[in-house]
């Protein structure tokens, strides 16, 4: 009986060991996607959520077969570099970088881990890829290239007589510099001028807006991470000085912009998530060309426009996808 009991105990231990090993193997087979953004604000958070939701739709679900980790650099490029080094040590199946500074930090940190960038205006200017063709490297992604011609058209619909357009941006962010450079060319062709106000830190945004008073007819708020993180400071100045705001990020309209035409950043995240899925399923990132989005939406805020001294036309309000009451 003792021998029988010993055999049964050994068999049970072997079975438990096999079950444990199977559990560990199943856990080891889970895909790992690590996501980082330079800062938390509505647009970038929407990209993150879109990536996660697309992965779930494609069969990669958190808690079942996917480990999904998110870290924000809180607007600090040094922290972005630290996060990138952590991701390199973790060796995820895919690393997703939201916004230019985070993408640059990751690309500088690894040449082997697949990187998918998102919400990067000009990945070529940011030196993430050499061209819009498949890179042949570990990097691909989705651009949030602003429809600058459409945004200039919107500016002229909001304020037809505008000649001096103020822009607040971070001169240290390649994304923003690319926008300002192209926008200046567009304005020059219309005999309009761009008045620049630098905001290298989020705490500089409100004072940059104040510096435009008397120098600009209207404020253009690009998809600059500092600008979007501290947008309420711009809105306060605009309301007080009767200087309307036209934004490139539609989420800014709820926060006090008169109007915006831009991307749906959640949809941009879903588009990014589809690329992540392709890589998780075995496709090499270097064979996937960087993409752009061509779907843009018009948001208007008639009350904000009124506060800023420039009521919107009935036709413009009627043409908007979303009207903020």
pLDDT band for 1, please (50, 70, 90 cuts). Answer: very low
Q: What is the pLDDT of residue 9?
A: 46
Please give the average per-residue pLDDT across 98-112, as a whole number: 97
Higher pLDDT, 110 or 7: 110
> In the predicted model, what is the mean pLDDT of the chain?
91
Q: What is the pLDDT of residue 65?
A: 97
Q: Phi/psi at 75 (nearest 5 deg)?
A: 80, 5
What sign results for the dihedral spanned by CA atoms 296, 301, 306, 307?
A: negative
pLDDT band for 142, please (50, 70, 90 cuts). Answer: very high
Q: Could you tell me if 47 and 96 are in contact, meaning their C-beta atoms sit under 8 angstroms apart?
A: no
Query: 165-222: per-residue pLDDT in tens?
Result: 999 999 998 889 989 999 999 999 999 999 999 999 999 999 999 999 999 999 999 9
And the tokens for 184? Answer: 């200046």
Concatenate the DSSP letters of all residues of 142-201 into one string.
Answer: EE----HHHHHHHHHHH-TT--EEEEEE-TT-HHHHHHHHHHHHHHHHTT-EEEEEE-SS
Q: At what angle do helices 148-158 and 174-189 cross, to 10 degrees?
A: 60
Secondary structure (3-state) at 131: coil
Rounded distance, CA 96 to CA 117, Å?
6
Q: What is the pLDDT of residue 98?
A: 98
Q: What is the pLDDT of residue 212?
A: 98
Rounded distance, CA 103 to CA 167, Å?
24
Q: What is the pLDDT of residue 29?
A: 64
Q: Could you tell me if 221 and 154 are in contact, meaning their C-beta atoms sit under 8 angstroms apart?
A: no
Q: What is the pLDDT of residue 294?
A: 78
DSSP alpha helices (H): ranges in the chain? 2-29, 42-57, 77-90, 100-109, 148-158, 174-189, 205-211, 225-229, 231-241, 251-254, 265-280, 302-307, 314-319
Q: What is the CA radius of gyration of the chain?
A: 24
């Amino acid at each position: 009986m003792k021998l029988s009991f010993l055999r049964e105990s050994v068999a049970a231990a072997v079975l438990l060991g096999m079950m444990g090993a199977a559990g560990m193997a199943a856990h080891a087979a889970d895909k790992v996607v690590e996501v980082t953004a330079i800062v938390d604000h509505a647009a970038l958070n929407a990209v993150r959520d879109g990536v996660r939701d697309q992965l779930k739709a494609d069969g990669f679900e958190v808690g079942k077969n996917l480990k999904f980790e998110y870290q924000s650099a809180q607007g600090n490029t040094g922290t972005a570099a630290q996060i990138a080094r952590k991701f390199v040590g973790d060796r995820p199946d895919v690393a997703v970088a939201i916004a230019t500074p985070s993408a640059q930090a990751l690309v500088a940190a690894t040449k082997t881990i697949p990187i998918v960038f998102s919400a990067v205006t000009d990945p070529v200017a940011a030196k993430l890829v050499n061209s819009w063709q498949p890179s042949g490297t570990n990097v691909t992604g989705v651009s949030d290239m602003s429809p600058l011609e459409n945004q200039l058209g919107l500016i002229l619909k909001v304020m037809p007589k505008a000649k001096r357009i103020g822009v607040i941006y971070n001169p240290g962010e390649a994304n923003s510099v690319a926008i300002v450079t192209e926008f200046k060319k567009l304005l020059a062709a219309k005999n309009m001028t761009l008045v620049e106000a630098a905001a290298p830190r989020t705490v500089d945004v409100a004072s940059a807006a104040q510096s435009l008073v008397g120098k600009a007819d209207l404020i253009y708020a690009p998809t600059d991470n500092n600008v979007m993180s501290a947008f309420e400071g711009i809105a306060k100045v605009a309301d007080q000085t009767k200087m309307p705001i036209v934004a490139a990020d539609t989420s800014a309209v709820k926060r006090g912009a008169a109007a915006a035409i831009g991307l749906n950043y959640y949809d941009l995240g879903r588009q990014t998530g589809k690329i992540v899925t392709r890589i998780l399923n075995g496709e090499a990132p270097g064979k996937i060309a960087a993409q752009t989005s061509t779907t843009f939406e018009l948001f208007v805020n008639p009350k904000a426009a009124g506060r800023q001294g420039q009521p919107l036309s009935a036709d413009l309000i009627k043409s908007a996808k979303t009207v903020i009451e």
